[in-house]
Chain A
Amino acid sequence: MKRAAFTHRWIPILLLVPQIAIIGIFFYWPAIHALRSSFYLQDPFGFGETFVGMSNYLSLFKSAAYGRAAIFTVGFTLIVTFLSLGIALLLAVKADKVLRGAKTYRTLLMWVYAVAPPVAGVMGVIMFNQSWGPLSDFFKSLGWDFVLGVHYYDTAFAMVLIAVWKQIPVNFIFFLSGLQSIPKSVREAAMIDNPSAAGRFWDVTFPLLAPTGFFLLITNITYSLFDTFGIIDTVVKGEPGNNPMTLVYKVYVDGFRGNDLGGSSAQSVILMVLVLAMTVVQFRLVERRIHYT
């Protein structure tokens, strides 16, 4: 289908130049730089660099710290994704169903989207405060001696909780929107065909939410990988040490604080490949799923 268009030659180029210029300088240049640096070892005193081929990558695979960060990242991503999607779906289904107060509930459940991740982290730190944090007290009363920043799994638990709290609103908004886009008459036809509300949900509603669900799956994985930086940084209070951290956080720690530019760049490149793969998967999957309308 040929679109109607203007035929001017220079105007589109002028319009595009600012965007492409910025992208060129602040996206492609750093990206290529990172790629290049990953193959070099920097002299710690800044006196140059030596080409070391794949050596940076190899030492990553041998590094125990990297392995731990990788395992934590995978676990963290899976748990946060699963929990925030599940809870958000439950809330969206209920919010869609109730007749009274729907608007109020929606507002109360979605405003957290606007909270900055580090602030969420700060709230979490306070709630898990060693001496008087409400959540620490709660867990102590259950016999779990919770020490944030010292016990690995305690810290991991806190990070997961905060990350889930932060991510529920986005999923909630999308699920609710997805639910409301299912034609009312299809749901009414189901009310006539199936006496069981649970049956109607699993047979009709859930499959029609699948496109939204897939999209959210990818979005959530991206979130867990990248947007949790602020949470992790505040929870570890700037002292990474032996605390759980995601691979993205490790890029920052090794590069900015540890001055290991080569190793940090190698980690960046690995993450780049990962994101590339995920985006390809997303487009393949999402394209195939859009066939109902």
Chain B
Amino acid sequence: MTKSTPRKRFKLSVVVDHAVLIIGSIFMIAPVLMLLQMTTMPDLINMKTGPILMIGDQLDDNFYKAMFKADGFSGANTGMRMLWNSMLLGLGFAAGKIILGMMAAYAIVYFRMRFATFAFWIIFTTLLLPLEVRILPSYEIVQRLGMLNTYQGLIIPLIASATATFFFRQYFRSIPEELVEAARIDGAGPFKFFVDILVPLSKTMIAAMFIIMFVYGWNQYLWPTMITTEENMFTLVRGIKQITQALEGTNLPEYGRANMLALIAILPPVLIVIFFQSWFVKGLTESDK
């Protein structure tokens, strides 16, 4: 019996694979680490040397400043306030999208309507025009309706797109029809069917959608920039504009505070995406087919 060359237990290709992945991970995470480092140093040093390989002691100091100090004229845009606004925007947007989307999808899928296809196409066309393209007229209309600098003005116009409706429509279509027939035999009308059967079945989908929509809403930049001029309505992400201006104008740029705000701005969405990874990935990959 001849012996053939044994495969090395220690394969070079496996080392290469891990190296590639490690480099990629470092590339992804380095900028955040940089921000974090700068929040630990006094602004004087940050101004002179930028990010360096040292950790200072200013972390809680900068955190305090970020959360409770405001720049601007009214003193209203503290980190706390902006955090609150971001939370409202994210939650409101996600809730609005899901509720409206589920209702509309329910109507389209489970009812015989003469105008079903027409309604479908009306909703579908909204996928063709992102907000950025109709930004100015949207602003004018919101202004005319007196919705500038309000939460409604922030949230409602963003809901005017079909993504959630589509997602739920697709999901509802995948649910066996026999359920509706069984429900009718059991005497459940459309309302009961929706509340007692459909919604519980859709729990994972709702969770997935909620995560994606919350992140989307929280991260909105252009729209809040345009329609909120009062500082007490700023969201964290909208506040970034102030941050970059703060870094330019003043004599001692407040890097510590600015970077801390940036970190706070990304922390909640990132944490949600990490902790609810499987739901998030599921929602993402299933919603765009």
Query: B-contacting residues of A (Cβ < 8 Å)?
Result: 3-8, 11-13, 15-16, 18-20, 22-23, 25-27, 29-31, 33-34, 37, 87, 90-91, 94-95, 97-98, 101, 105-127, 129, 131-134, 165, 168-170, 173-174, 177, 197, 215, 219, 222, 226, 229-230, 233-234, 237-238, 248, 251-252, 255-256, 261, 264-265, 268, 271-272, 275-276, 279
Q: Are A134 and B110 in contact (CB under 8 A)?
A: no
- Choice from A5, A95, A248 contacting B132 with Cβ under 8 Å: A248
Query: A-contacting residues of B (Cβ < 8 Å)?
Result: 13-14, 17-18, 20-21, 24-25, 27-29, 31-32, 34-35, 38, 48-51, 100-101, 103-104, 106-113, 116, 119, 122-123, 126-130, 132-142, 156-157, 159-162, 165, 177-178, 180-181, 184, 189-191, 193, 215, 218-219, 221-222, 225-226, 237, 240-241, 243-245, 247-248, 255, 258-259, 262, 265-266, 269-270, 272-274, 277, 281, 284-285, 288-289
Complex Cα distance, B184 from A4, in Å, reads: 10
Q: Are A16 and B119 in contact (CB under 8 A)?
A: yes
Complex Cα distance, B139 from A264, in Å, reads: 13
CB distance from B156 to the nearest CB of A (A): 6
Complex Cα distance, B271 from A111, in Å, reads: 8
Q: Are A91 and B20 in contact (CB under 8 A)?
A: yes
Q: Are B100 and A19 in contact (CB under 8 A)?
A: yes
Complex Cα distance, B119 from A275, in Å, reads: 21
Q: Are B219 and A19 in contact (CB under 8 A)?
A: no
Complex Cα distance, B272 from A115, in Å, reads: 12
CB distance from A17 to the nearest CB of B (A): 9
Q: How many A-B residue pairs have CB under 8 A?
A: 282
Q: Are A94 and B221 in contact (CB under 8 A)?
A: no
Q: Are A27 and B160 in contact (CB under 8 A)?
A: yes
Secondary structure type dominating chain A contacts: helix
27 A-B pairs within 8 Å (CB atoms) are namely A6-B184, A11-B107, A12-B108, A18-B103, A18-B104, A19-B100, A19-B123, A22-B156, A26-B141, A27-B126, A94-B17, A94-B20, A101-B18, A108-B25, A111-B270, A118-B221, A119-B266, A125-B244, A126-B34, A126-B255, A165-B28, A165-B31, A226-B130, A230-B237, A237-B245, A272-B129, A272-B134
With A5-B180, A22-B156, A238-B244: A115-B266 Cβ-Cβ less than 8 Å: yes
With A123-B34, A132-B49, A238-B244: A34-B136 Cβ-Cβ less than 8 Å: yes
Q: Are A109 and B266 in contact (CB under 8 A)?
A: no
- Choice from A97, A108, A119, A234 contacting B28 with Cβ under 8 Å: A108
A contact residues around B136 at 8 Å (CB): 30, 34, 251, 255-256, 261, 264-265, 268
CB distance from A166 to the nearest CB of B (A): 10
